[in-house]
Each structure stands twice: as structure tokens, then as C-alpha cells.
Amino acid sequence: MLRRSLLRFKPAIATAAEALHDVTDGVTIALGGFGFCGFPFELLEELNKKGTKQLTLIAGTTSGPENGTGPLARDGQIAKVITSYVGENSALTDRLMNGEFAIEFCPMGTLVDRLRAAGAGLPAFYTPTGYGTAVAEGRLPVRFVAGGSMRVAEYSQPRETRQFNGRWCTLETALPADFAFVRAWKADTRGNLVFRGTTQNFNLASAKAAKVCIAEVEEIVEGGELDPKTVHLPGVYVHRLVRPPNIRRAAEFVVERRPGFSSGTGKNAHASRNLIARRAALEIKDGMTLNLGIGIPNLVASYIPPEVDVVLQGENGLLGIGPYPLPEEVDPDVTNAGKQTVTVSRSGASLFDSAESFGMIRGGHLDLTMLGALEVSSNGDIASWWVPGKVLKVQRAVVHAGDGAAGGLCVCARVEGRYARQPRVPRDDTKFQPCVCEGCEGVHCGGGRDCGGRGAGPEDGAPARRVCAPPGAPSEHQESCRVCGGAPARLLLWNRQERACKSQSHCPPRSP
């Protein structure tokens, strides 16, 4: 059977109810949008009213406890969610932790490429992203035990791994969908779509991965009225058009700037988050193109000196991020990776989708990438996703990596991935003092305390965890590696039940 009829020249124009007539129980739906930017509100609302059950949702983000994916979770319509992060949607996380549906975590760049692979007819691909982590080794939670205990009932399966040119990679399969719900600005009667601002994000890849794409649009014009050079998604991918009677636009985080006000001043300028951002900004050099990720990195732009000319990239699809908007400039269709309202740089910018954005990052075309994390070890091990028994909100939890309250953790920035060179640690700033622990290359942020070479324990009012030990001192965590038997071992911060070799290079990949 052909996937699409070659006799179909025009998409159907319908109401939301008519467009969803064949969306039945058990289907897989790919959702466009990044936060509320480019999100198909009307289609999700109609799906909730329809009461369709056992849904599998594929989404880059899961925003919207009240008017996004939250109502579907609240009414028990979801069987599984495939996403990168769920921490900001309480309606979703509460029911996830209660074991009401399954979850598949996937790095965001890999997720959008899995959708793109499905749309291009590619069954799978290899990527270095996730190798050596719980993603590849099969230790991510898939389902939790009912009752809210947050105990894991089922874990993910290990990925197949393979080495290319000396670099280990994991196998990722394509992610096809039965339906795609996308949101665009304009459409013509041939189905060609035009998007505003950063709303391309996950919309393009979702549309291409689906057997049937339903597009929610603000305006429909006759075929030929759109300039072909402005079309972002060709009509061959679009099957149904829905123009809601009431157009709804929203931004998840409306952030404004006041005329003459600098975010680098004020009563919060010395807060721990801002101290980290200020120090990180010193790593930025004139002429760089850099990506600022979710969390504290979004603050870094406010501390870049005016004489330093840089181009900022957001993984949601904007190269050339401008300052936060004035109140009269706020546009919910222009946001950064933190889902905050921003402006487009007046010195030159470009707009694209998330697949293109992550291709820039993955392909090494940027000079620098700054990411937020829950915890970072002196070796550059990054913990961001999941700690047993806890629900994490990255924008809040990332503070604990550098405010001095993390129980002796040593904070550093890493240039490359986990299996790369030792991270370079800044030591030229009075706000960052080196930790004296043996072999530790970390630093504490202003206001933090040195752990004195002994780590931290319950007597300090901190969790009993150590990332380094003084010379000759025994540590209950210095044990043989459970994977390869190498010694000594070091406790991984993001999962205190797992250990890895101190050198990190001795452990072979686990067999699939």
C-alpha cells in the first residue's frame, strides 16, 4: 500500500472535529511546538474532548498542565510519552510517577533526528550522543510503580553500539507516527505552510514523520498566493487544514526588559545563578557563534560585554538571538531554548527548525555550547535527567551545581563529551576557588565552601556522597567497577546505584 495517494493534490479543509474523525484509540501522534511556541492548542483540545484513549505522544517538550498535554494525562488518555523532559508539567509528572503511563526519554537532538529519519524513509542511524550513559546502557525508567512511591517498575533496554573511526556510537531507530498535529501561520489550498518566528521547531520533523499531518493554521489563502521562497513545509506533507475560529497564541515565559535597565545589575546580580552566568560569560570570545541551552546558560547573554561581538543560537531554531523584548515588542512566536520571549538580532539572524539547529550543534559548526546541568563532576560527568525518587526541574536544580550547597561537589564546565579530554577548569577568577581534593579539577562558585579534601557527609547536613578523596584515605565508594572490574571506581552522581571506572576508559560498552 502506498503511504500517500498520488492522486491527492489538495488537503482537506475541515473543522477540528472533522479533521480528527479517524484518530482512534491506540494511535501514535507526533506533536509540533517547543513549549507553547508553535503548539497546536485547538487540535489537542479537540483530542481531549473526543476522549481517545491509549495514545502514544511524541513531543520535544510536554508543556501545558492546563491546556497542552496535561488534560490528556489528567483524563487517562495517554499510554506512553516519548520526549526529552517532563519536569515542568505537573499534571503529566504526577501521573507518570503514579505509574499511569510509560515514558521513553530521548535526548532532544536525537529525538528530532528520529522523526526526521522516519520522514526520510531511514529505519535507523548511529549517533555518539548518549553513549556511555543510561541512554545506551538501558538504565532509564520506563514505568514507575503505582502508588506514588517513585520506585521504578521497568527500565529501558540497552542500545546496540558500534565504533566508527575510533568513536563509539549508539543505534537509534526511526520514530514514525500515525498522525502529526502541527501549528503554522499561513497555508495555501495546496497545503504549503509558512511559519512565523521560531515556530518551525518540532513542527517540520513531526509533519514529515506522520502518515497523516493535520495542520492548525491562522490563515488559508488560495494556491499561488504564497511566494514559493517563503514556504517552509511543502504541501506534500500536509493532509488536512484546520483554521480555528479563535486564534490562540501564548508564551510559556514572558520575559521583558525595561528601557535603560541591565540584567547584570540589581539586587539579584550576585545570586548564585547570576554568579555562574557571569563567570561563564568570561569564556566567550569576540567573533564566536555559540549555543545557549536551557537554564542558567540563558542568563549568560546578559553578561557578555558590549564590545564582544557574538552570534547566539537557540536549539529551538534561531541563529541571532537578540535581547529580551520591551513590553511593546513581546511576540510569543519568538522564544529561546528556555521558552522565554526574546527578540531577533537586528544585526542579522536566521530562522529554521530544531532538526537544522541540532545539526549545527552535532556537526561541530558552533564555537561553543553552554548547557545547564543538575550536577557536574570534576571529570565532566553530567547529571541532568533523573535521580531515583526525585522529580527534577532543570532550571531550578541546576543551581545546586554551583551555589556551594551541594555538599562538596566540584563544579566545572566541560568542552566535549564524557569520553573526551579532561575538562579545562577556569582558575583565574576570585569568585571561583579551586577545591583541594586529590585529583580534583573542580571549582566552587562564589560563596561556596572548600570541602577540605574530605568530601562531605551527614555531619555537614549534606547527602553522604564523595566525588574525590584525600591521599590514602579509604572511601566506601572506591570499589571495583561493576561493569569491567577495574579499580578504583567513582560514584556517578546522577545514579548512586551505579559505578564506573575512575579512568572511564576501561569500561567496554555493555552488550546489547
Instruction: Tell me, rounded to whole angstroms, the distance of Cα 238 from its chain centroid.
Output: 26
Nine-digit cell at 335? 522564544
Our answer to whether residue 315 is catalytic in this structure is: yes
- Within 10 angstroms of residue 34's Cβ, the number of other Cβ atoms is 29
Indicate the burial class of 96 (C-beta count within 10 angstroms; 0-12, 13-18, 19 or more): buried
Nine-digit cell at 424? 579545562
Nine-digit cell at 317? 531554531
Q: Which of 46, 252, 315, 375 is catalytic?
A: 315
In the block, cell 493534490 appears at 9
Instruction: Tell me, rounded to whole angstroms, the distance of Cα 509 from its chain centroid.
Output: 25
What is the sign, positive or negative, of the torsion defined by CA atoms of 447, 448, 452, 453?
negative
Instruction: Tell me, rounded to whole angstroms, the distance of Cα 37 from its chain centroid.
Output: 15
In whole angstroms, give the CA distance from residue 308 to residue 304.
7
Nine-digit cell at 193? 505552510
Residues facing residue 341 across a β-bridge: 335
φ/ψ of residue 84, rounded to 5: -100, -30
Which of 395, 388, 403, 394 is closest to 493 using CA atoms? Answer: 388
* Amino acid at site 208: K
Are the C-beta atoms of residues 358 and 108 closer than 8 Å to each other? Answer: yes
User: Residues in the chain, how many?
Assistant: 512
The answer for residues whose C-beta is within 8 angstroms of residue 116's C-beta and 6 or more apart is: 205, 208, 209, 355
| Gyration radius from the chain CA atoms | 24
In whole angstroms, give the CA distance from residue 85 to residue 87.
6
In whole angstroms, give the CA distance from residue 127 to residue 133.
13
In whole angstroms, give the CA distance from residue 84 to residue 203.
16
Nine-digit cell at 126? 548511529
In whole angstroms, give the CA distance from residue 371 to residue 382.
10
The answer for residues whose C-beta is within 8 angstroms of residue 5's C-beta and 6 or more apart is: none
> So which residues are the catalytic ones?
315
